[in-house]
Structure 1
Amino acid sequence: MPYAQSAQLFARGCGVFPDGTTRATVERDPIPRYILKGEGAYLIDVDGQRFLDLNNNFTTLIHGHGFSPALDAVARLLRDGTCFSNPTVHEIDLAELLVDRIPAVEQIRFVNTGTEAVMFAIKAARAFTGRPGVARVEGAYHGSYDWAEAGQGGTPSTWGSPDAPVAVPAYAGTPASVADDVVILRFNDAEGARRRIAAAADRLACILLDPMPSRGGLIPPDPDFIAAVVETARNYGILVVCDEVLNLRQSYRGASARYGIEPDLIAAGKIIGGGFPIGAIGGSRRVMSVFDGSAGRAKLAQGGTFSANPVSMVAGRVSMEALTELAFDRLEELGDRLRAALTAAIDRHRTHHVISGAASLFRIHPKRTLPHDYREVYPLPHETASMKEMTRFFRNEGVILPDGAAGCLSTAMSDADIDKITDVFERFLVTTPVSAGEAR
């Protein structure tokens, strides 16, 4: 049995975890793969199998596994202590790097996760404006804060009409009042965004915007939609919060800069921690002043026992220093090459697939044409089955392609790795030929 050791570990996990694991995002088919170690672009599981990793812990490991400069820096640090109640120089070093690099960030605060970063960005917007409400894009993922997650997982039976999307709660027992303070926008619907923001303007603190939502399909943003959101927000004194926890990896200066957005606040995480837990809220001095308690009680208190811990600060700084403009250019080239090669394979085999994404991100959709928003991305039952078959095929060929076929590249990858991904995809298409003229 190829997963004997993983099966044994999963059986143990089922005795101590409600569903056998401790993260809802862990993928299983039918059980999860337990990992022994990572080496660059590859993973080795407890059964000795080796996989090219297109997940990279949900886009976090932009340098792949075991990035030596970060590991060496952390190893030197460990004997000096891993966390203190006092500040250290390491948090200043990482903060200065991020402030220098990201145009919208003049000041910053560190937390421990992307969820915390988004939560405190929303709280900061509320503290600054004195309003409670949040507008957010349908289907986008922003972590596990009630007001950030309402509307992230709607289905055709729950998401409501196109003109009035519903803030579908993310879990049973969500207070009804959450939906009262969340306005759902459809991605790339410029006029709908203007109308819905204006209608709720008197109670909106912020608009939570992921420039290219991963869960929403990695669909390119329509410039008219971005302009509509930002202009309407400015007209009504609503803050624009860009969630770049995932998409900061889209360029040297991040996704907002890439798409010409000037947000009031940015939530960051993942790549800025060098493989260790981290989150950050950054923005203009004017808005970030809500965290300032130097002259008395701050409008918004933010602590966290492990916030700005030296390990994450050092690993993050070293990893970000290695992400030079040349490094981002190379990732962009690899991404462009992969997306073009996958598209060429689709054209050759005339199948119902289309590729989206940018920079080091890509997604394979079992669709005839590129979706425009979350509702068009949402898979039909036969499409879900097809994608499961694809991820299983990739796994059997030694490539971890996440469920939903949204993958990411790392600086540890080579041209040969790109060729391998393309070759596996082409062989998958050969095993499931579908003429472009056939109906599904």
Structure 2
Amino acid sequence: MAAEMGVGQKSKDNFDRAWLVFPDGTSRVTIDRDPTPLYVERGIGSYLFDVDGRRFVDLNCNFTTLIHGHAFEPVVEALTSQLQRGSCFANPTESEIELAELLCRRVPAIDRVRFVNTGTEAVLFAIKAARAFTGRSKIAKLEGAYHGAYDWVEVSQAATPANWGDPIAPQSTAFYRGMPTSVLDEVVVLRFNDVESVRRLMSLHADHLAAIIVDPMPSRGGLVAPKPEFIAAVHEASRANGILVISDEVLNLRQSFHGASARYGLVPDLVTMGKIIGGGLPIGAIGGREDVMKVFDGSAGRPLLPQGGTFSANPLSMTAGLAAMRHLDHVAFAHLETLGDIVRDGIGRAISIRNAPLCVTGAASLFRLHPCAKTPNDYREIYPTPAGATLMKQLTRFFADNGIILPHGAAASLSTPMTRADAELIVDVFAGFLDSHQDLLDAIEAFNRPM
């Protein structure tokens, strides 16, 4: 069995250079390395090419961003034209109005929009908007859910069995050493799909809660579908107590033409967006009800919530995003839905035929694999055993060795240039992994077997 993912000599040489300028040899903690990262030379369509000339089907798509794959021609043409006219201005441009109009038309919960530069910024300002609107400071969030690099939403993002506490009243846990205890005190942690705890804890803290932030299908939480009764409980508790609902769709806006909230029946007051709306360039956006978004209104003086940014609504991101979103029509979403069904159904059949202790979750163009036989309900149920973690690492290696980039411990995503043949290849490689790693599957089965 391979001890590590095979990488070429140029990737190894680049990593040696990188250690001289980056604290751990990488520029961001999210880069997969095993132990050497794969350095990319270029991308085209659904494929990546590394610096050693090898081709891979890309299921990462820069963490689900590239819904049209790499070097999407309409985006390339739009950016080339815009670069010739200028890259950024202190003044507004028509493209920002056009992209905002598109988002307001598509997403039912959005009346008004403000643009920022990242998904983290979008979440940051959505929470600030909720505080400004309600006059309250606390927020509620789901255990294990990722919402970017903002202290309050990082609480309990990486909780473990050693510190996550009572199942009916999860403990607020620090994400990094030195996180202020005051931040922990201002976050109410809930379990995804736990109806009773949502009702009880939101009511208990109602006087101080500005908002509950919900990813309709949290990737780090397992890419598990929300139960209708959970969505109903969020609505009930928030409306009864004057708490705003923030739907974080930075990742999951790609779940349908109208976004994830519309797919699952969530009616938010604010929506955060990013990734696919930028066409591959940095972007973030906050949208929502007109009265809530009024906190950004500076037309009559200092707004309740000032929001700016040198590169917010920059014309490159606006232009690229507009080109990408215009081509992300109903036909494109139907194609992605079909590909997703082929992959998830095929993986499910492969698991069932072999009675393997794994499962697959996800929806639309997203899927995630878990080293457990039973479909999980939340973050605690997908937390891997040592045997499970080993198996998932080997799975990523096996896929890479067979020409597919599969994210480790995160959502895998499909893109519009992918074909049925690509989807079937994913299923075939997964089946090949099951057939060649029976020892690891047996280890998981033994660990999960009742004593």
- TM-score over 0.5 (shorter chain): yes
In the alignment, structure 1 residue 78 sits paired with structure 2 residue 90: no
Shift of 1:164: 1.5
1:432 to 423, 433, 437: 437
Look up the equivalent residue of 1:398 and give its one-letter code: G
Is 1:280 aligned with 2:277? no
**Residue type matched to 2:397 in 1?**
R
Are 1:404 and 2:371 matched, yes or no?
no
Q: Check whether the contact 1:351–1:436 (CA below 8 A) recurs between aligned residues.
A: no
Post-superposition Cα deviations, 1:72-111, rounded to whole Å, max 9, x if no partner, equal: 0110110111001110111001000000110000000000
CA distance in 2, matches of 1:258, 1:174: 35
Q: Does 1:355 align with 2:365?
A: no
Partner of 1:383: 388
Counterpart pick for 1:214 among 204, 211, 219: 219
Q: Which residue of 371, 379, 389 maps to 1:366?
A: 371
Is it true that 1:134 corresponds to 2:139 in the alignment? yes
User: Helix, strand or coil: the match of 1:390?
Assistant: helix
Aligned CA distance change for structure 1 residues 438 and 56 (closer, same or farther; 3 Å):
closer
Alignment root-mean-square deviation, CA: 1.2
For residues 40-439 of structure 1, what are the structure 2 equivalents within 5 Å? 40-404=45-409, 406-433=411-438, 434=441, 438-439=445-446
Shift of residue 405, structure 1, vs aligned partner: 5.6
Q: Is the 8 A contact 1:266 1:281 kept in 2?
A: yes
CA distance in 2, matches of 1:218, 1:437: 21
The aligned amino acid for 1:274 is G
Percent identity over paired residues: 58
Instruction: Give the counterpart letter for 1:60 in structure 2.
Output: T
The answer to which of 106-115 and 155-164 deviates more is: 155-164
In the TM superposition, structure 1's runs of 4+ consecutive aligned residues that sit over 4 Å from their partners are 434-438
Amino acid at match of 1:256: S
Q: Please tell me the residue identity of whatever aligns with 2:384.
A: P
Map of 1:13 onto structure 2: 18
Instruction: State the distance in 2 between where 1:43 and 1:161 align.
Output: 44
Task: Tell me if the contact between 1:365 and 1:405 (Cα under 8 Å) persists in the aligned partners.
Answer: no
Per-residue CA distance 1:152-189 (angstroms, 9 max, x = gap): 11000011110211111111111100011000000000
Alpha-carbon contact 1:387-1:405 (below 8 Å) kept: no
1:437 Cα offset (Å): 11
> CA contact under 8 A between 1:106 and 1:284: conserved in structure 2?
yes
Q: What letter is aligned with 2:69? A: G
Aligned 8 A contact 1:187 1:374 in 2: yes
Q: Deviations over 1:307-342 (max 9, x none)?
A: 000000011001000010111011111101110000
SS of equivalent residue, structure 2 residue 19:
helix
Separation in 2, partners of 1:159, 1:49: 42
Where 2:397 maps in the other structure, the secondary structure is helix
SS at match of 2:301: coil
Structure 2 CA distance, aligned partners of 1:354 and 1:168? 28
CA shift, 1:2, in A, is 4.5
Question: Residues of 1 paired with 2:129 and 2:182: CA distance?
Answer: 20
SS class of match (1:358): coil
Aligned-partner Cα distance in 2 for 1:246–1:239: 20
Q: Assess if the C-alpha contact under 8 Å between 1:352 and 1:436 holds in 2.
A: no
Distance 1:276 1:203, change over 3 A: same
When normalised by structure 1's length, the TM-score is: 0.99
Displacement of 1:406: 2.7
Evaluate the alpha carbon distance shift between residue 2 and residue 383 of structure 1 in structure 2; reply closer, same or farther with a 3 A threshold.
Answer: closer
Deviation, structure 1 residue 21:
1.0
Instruction: Tell me how far apart the structure 2 counterparts of residues 2 and 261 of structure 1 sit (CA, whole Å).
Output: 43
Q: Is the 8 A contact 2:387 2:444 kept in 1?
A: no
SS class of match (2:184): helix
Q: Which runs of 5+ in 2 are unaligned?
A: 1-5
Residues 438 and 160 of structure 1, relative CA distance in 2, 3 Å threshold: closer
1:402–1:105 Cα change, 3 Å: same
User: Quick one: distance in 1 between partners of 2:142 and 2:303?
Assistant: 30
Deviations 1:8-32 (A, max 9, x none): 1111111111111111100001111
The one-letter code matched in structure 1 to 2:257 is: Y
AA of the residue aligned to 2:409: G
Q: Is the 8 A contact 1:349 1:435 kept in 2?
A: no
Q: Secondary structure at the match of 1:79?
A: helix
Letter in structure 2 aligned against 1:45: D
Give the Cα–Cα distance (whole angstroms) in 1 for the partners of residues 7 and 238 of structure 2: 54
Distance 1:147 1:168 in 2: 11
Report the Cα offset of residue 439 of structure 1. 2.8
User: Would you say the 8 A contact 2:106–2:258 is kept in 1?
Assistant: yes
Please report how far the alpha carbon of residue 220 of structure 1 lies from its aligned counterpart in structure 2 after TM superposition: 0.8
Do the aligned residues in 1 keep the contact of 2:257 with 2:333 (CA within 8 Å)? yes
In structure 1, C-alpha distance between the alignment counterparts of 2:410 and 2:173, rounded to whole Å: 24
Gap regions ≥5 residues in structure 1: none
Q: TM-score, normalised by structure 2?
A: 0.96
Aligned partners of 2:120 and 2:147 also within 8 Å: yes
| Equivalent residue letter for 1:59 | T
Instruction: Give secondary structure in 2 for the equivalent of 1:208.
Output: strand
Which AA in structure 2 matches 1:329? Answer: A
